Chain A
């Protein structure tokens, strides 16, 4: 898996946010559109695209998009 593709999948979960404003280093919880419902769609996207189980604590402990990517990457065989 690669980071650019992950960011693309992540950006797709937002409706109103300018895609160019989300990068690897973006603190995603500070994005205005971020909500608990977007968090569920992140879990769904990671299940669908990477077949990885992602828990609430994984989201809570992550700050940047790259943090999410690194957890997923560590669980992809």
Chain B
């Protein structure tokens, strides 16, 4: 069981950047019957999303978020020892995008850089990695850049996926300091590999055939380089694992839900998050949402929600619970003590 507790490490600052272009779900008449659109929007809770232009990548969005974070907090590039890039939409297959970002951000050559690849659960796994490096002797600051542009890997005629996903890039600065304990509990079940998947890869090599769009289940259109999701299985997975995962972290840290100031869920869809709130019987804890504005931005959604909804609200000491879940299957929750975390408001690319 991966239960990890960190002492004296925390998040110093956060920022986020979204594309300028707004896509409105009310305009999805070509995909969903007009008389059902309003109901779908109500259920998934997504009114609009930000979609990156064809020449804008997750690393571009993260770059801008990182520049904002460094400017707002007077962070010298030389003070960053580790750069992590968490994404499943990197710039290239080779080299790792974190290397490009090191150069672009003007970080020293002594900076350790590597990419992390996970689905919607990715932020917590990457954040635990950032905390781990920041805890090590010789490392002071870790910059975690988490960004996704799922718009590039979802077919616009896939009615399960296209109404959900949006694009975003985020930056999180982790360092040692006067922070209380943080506890992460992270889980995996690879038997669910087919629940959320892109088939093309080394197992199924890409051929000209892979790029041909086909009609799949329920009339959804996609090619083999695009995301497939079994919505019902994801939903069953999330409702059976997420509330339990949060309860488990509370139990291990000897806390109750009332000790949590803000509970931040991966912004999958509103219906699902409302179900979690009901199941956890949350009354006093605040649950911020930004899904109505930005949709499901995969692993970027937790830091994006914080930048969007908690900018300026994390001065002083606050306790946060974060919970992420997604492809893999992979899920986890973390209880975290924040101390004067500087959150920059969301900017546009």
Q: Do A and B bind each other?
A: yes
Q: Which A residue sits closest to B272, measured CB to CB?
A: A40
B178 at the interface (CB under 8 A from A): no
B281 at the interface (CB under 8 A from A): no
| Segment at the interface with A among B7-15, B126-134, B234-242, B334-342 | B234-242
A47 at the interface (CB under 8 A from B): yes
Nearest Cβ on chain A to B343's Cβ, whole angstroms? 32
Given contacts A37-B40, A37-B271, contact A59 B232 (CB under 8 A): yes
Q: Which residues on A sit within 8 Å (CB–CB) of B231?
A: 36, 40, 56
Report how far A4 CA is from B48 CA in the complex, Å: 41
- A-B Cβ contacts below 8 A, count: 40
Interface centre among A37, A40, A47 (most CB of B within 10 A): A40
Contact of A40 among B39, B218, B271 (CB under 8 A): B271
Given contacts A36-B160, A37-B43, A40-B231, contact A53 B36 (CB under 8 A): no
B239 and A44 form a contact (CB under 8 A): yes
A50 at the interface (CB under 8 A from B): no
Nearest Cβ on chain B to A72's Cβ, whole angstroms? 13
Contact of A54 among B236, B271, B272, B275 (CB under 8 A): B236
Q: Which residues on A sit within 8 Å (CB–CB) of B240?
A: 47, 53
A56 and B232 form a contact (CB under 8 A): yes
Q: Which residues on A sit within 8 Å (CB–CB) of B271?
A: 37, 40-41
Map CB proximity to A onto B264-278 as digits: 1 under 8 Å, 0 otherwise. 000000011001000
Supplied contacts A36-B232, A39-B232, A55-B233, 12 more A-B pairs, CB within 8 Å: A36-B218, A37-B39, A37-B43, A40-B272, A43-B235, A43-B236, A47-B236, A47-B240, A48-B279, A53-B240, A54-B236, A55-B236
Chain B residues packing against A (C-beta within 8 Å): 36, 39-40, 43, 160, 218, 230-233, 235-236, 239-240, 271-272, 275, 279
CB-CB nearest 10 A-B residue pairs: A56-B232, A56-B233, A37-B43, A40-B235, A56-B230, A53-B240, A43-B236, A47-B239, A55-B236, A44-B275
